[in-house]
Amino acid sequence: MIELIPAIDLIDGKCVRLTKGDYDTKKIYSEDPLEAAKLFEDCGMQRLHVVDLDGARAGRIVNYKALERLSSRTSLAIDFGGGLKCTDDLRVAFDCGARMATGGSIAVKDPDSFASWITLFGSDRIILGADVKDNRIAVSGWEETTDYELIPFIDAYREKGITQVITTDISRDGTLRGPSIDMYREMLEALPEVYIIASGGVSSIGDIERLEEAGIPAVIFGKAFYEGRITTAELMRFA
C-alpha cells in the first residue's frame, strides 16, 4: 500500500501552504502546527514531512523550535527540509528530533557536502529533494531554475547512495489539479531502486489511489486535507 505522508509547511512557526511556491500566496491553516500533527497522528499516520519555508529563503534553519515541539510531542517520524546548507544546521535538525533530512538546493550548489552527508549520516536519514519545473531542477525556495534534468540528476545521486527522493512538480504544488502521474511513472521506470515520494497537486483521495495504482511507493499531501477535500475517515482507511 502507498505510504501517506502529511505535510506541514512552516512560516513564523505557523502551519501554512503556498501555491506553486509563491510566498505571496501564503495561507495560514493553523497558528499551532502541533494541532495538525496530532490530528494526523490520530488518523494513523506514521510519518510527517516538515518544510521550513523561512529557512528555505534564509538559507539556514529557522523554525527549529517548532520542529522540536512537533517531534517531542508526537510519535511521528519527521523528515525535515528547508534551508539546510551546512552540517551544523543538519545536526540542529537531528538534535531537535528530525529522523530524516531533505537536501535540495545544497545537492545542486554544494554536491560534495551533500554527498558527505550520505556517508556521515546514512542513506536512511538523508533524502534528496529533486523539485522540478518544466523537467528542470529548481532550488532556493523554487525561485531559481537550473539546467539539471530531473532523472539524470537523481540517478547521479543514486550512484552516490541516495535511496529516497521527494519530487515536487512545482507547477502543480498547492493547485489541487492532481499529481503528475505520468512523470512519476517515468521516474519509477528509470529509477526502480529509488523510493520515490510524489508531491504536489493532490486534490482528493482518488489522486492518491491513482498514484498507488501506478506503483508509486509514497505521496506527500497537505492542502487537500486542510481544504477538506480529504477526510480523516479516508486517511484512517489507508492507515
Domain residue ranges in the chain: 3-238
Residue 9 is among the residues annotated as catalytic for this protein: yes
CATH topology of domain 3-238: TIM Barrel (3.20.20)
Can you give the pLDDT at residue 141? 61
pLDDT tens digits, one per residue of 147-185: 999 999 999 999 999 999 999 988 887 778 899 999 999
Q: Among the options 52, 54, 79, 131, which is catalytic?
A: 131
- What is the mean pLDDT of the segment spanning 220-237? 95
The pLDDT tens digits of the residues spanning 96-118 come to 999 999 999 899 999 999 999 99
CA atoms of 80 and 106, how far apart (whole Å): 14
Model pLDDT for residues 43-79, shown as the tens digit of each residue: 999 999 999 999 988 889 999 999 999 999 999 999 9
Q: What ranges make up the beta strands (E) of 20-175?
A: 22-30, 47-52, 77-81, 100-103, 126-129, 132-133, 136-139, 144-149, 164-168
Is 131 assigned a catalytic role? Answer: yes
If we measure between CA atoms, which residue out of 164, 113, 109 comes closest to residue 141? 109
pLDDT for position 19: 80
pLDDT at 80 over 90: yes
Q: Of 9, 79, 89, 169, which one is the catalytic site residue?
A: 9
Mean residue pLDDT of the chain comes to: 94
Q: Residue 35, Cβ neighbours under 10 Å: how many?
A: 11
| pTM score of the predicted model | 0.94
pLDDT at 132 (0 to 100): 92
